[in-house]
Amino acid sequence: MSIKVDQVVAIVPAAGVGSRMKADRPKQYLIIHGKTILEHTVAKLLSHPQVECVVIAVDDSDPYFSDLSISQNSRVIRVSGGKERADSVLSALDFLNEQQKSGWVMVHDAARPCLSSADIDKLIDSARSHPVGAILAAPVRDTMKRGMNGMIKQTVERADLWHALTPQMFRSDDLYTALSEALEQEVEITDEASALEWKGLSPALVIGCSDNFKITQPEDLALAEFYLSKNKE
């Protein structure tokens, strides 16, 4: 069975601990405007007309997910998270394989709740018209330095540098092959695109909105709160 031609399955790796948040629970379960960050993220994905369902990778010992109303949503599927982010994504792809579901998938970090519908549109259009797929990304604005022992070693040319954001959209079979081979060969994979790059492929870069940042540190919560209230207006 294929994912419907005009539809995409969203994969949300949500099995991380988010230790840099220094919170009493994984960051995806912190509350903003009465809902967890994970619920905001999933609601954003599910509200897009081209997202068929959301497969969420959650740690097996996670005590929080089952208390959320999204855990009862028929368009939300829980799978087991893995040791690293790439293992969690692979677990979601394994599930799709078991269901014999193939087609386009869009992997999105649980901790990026401020994703806009317009950016999802842009990503889908670009990925579908590209032979490999595409990722949302933001050109680097600041002058970049390479440091060593707290001192500047070198200024790095920023003209071609981008911040890789999510979602990142690929065909499920291509992503499965690239990720599983890379993990087997112990190649370090930090995002989905890096697995495809390792296979010699060049996904497209699609300029995404800076609102779509990843909540990482405690001070990021106020910014996310601001963007999420702006979206409600």
**CB 130 within 8 Å of CB 204:** yes
Query: What residues are paired with 35 via a beta bridge?
Result: 32
String marking each residue 199-218 x if it binds ligand C5P according to CB under 6 A:
---------------x----
| Complex with ligand C5P: residue 57 or 206, whichever CB lies closer | 57
Q: Does 135 participate in binding ligand C5P (rule CB under 6 A)? A: no
Find, among 207, 182, 216, 218, the residue nearest to 197 by Cα: 182
Q: Does 45 participate in binding ligand C5P (rule CB under 6 A)? A: no
Distance in Å, CB of 14 to ligand C5P, minimum: 5
Of positions 21, 51, 81, 192, contacts ligand C5P by CB under 6 A: 81
Number of residues that bind ligand C5P (CB under 6 A): 17
String marking each residue 46-75 x if it binds ligand C5P according to CB under 6 A:
-----------x------------------
Of positions 13, 113, 133, 203, contacts ligand C5P by CB under 6 A: 13
String marking each residue 91-120 x if it binds ligand C5P according to CB under 6 A:
------------------xxx---------
| Complex with ligand C5P: residue 87 or 173, whichever CB lies closer | 87
| Residues at the site binding ligand C5P, with contacts judged by CB under 6 A | 13-16, 18, 28, 57, 81-85, 88, 109-111, 214
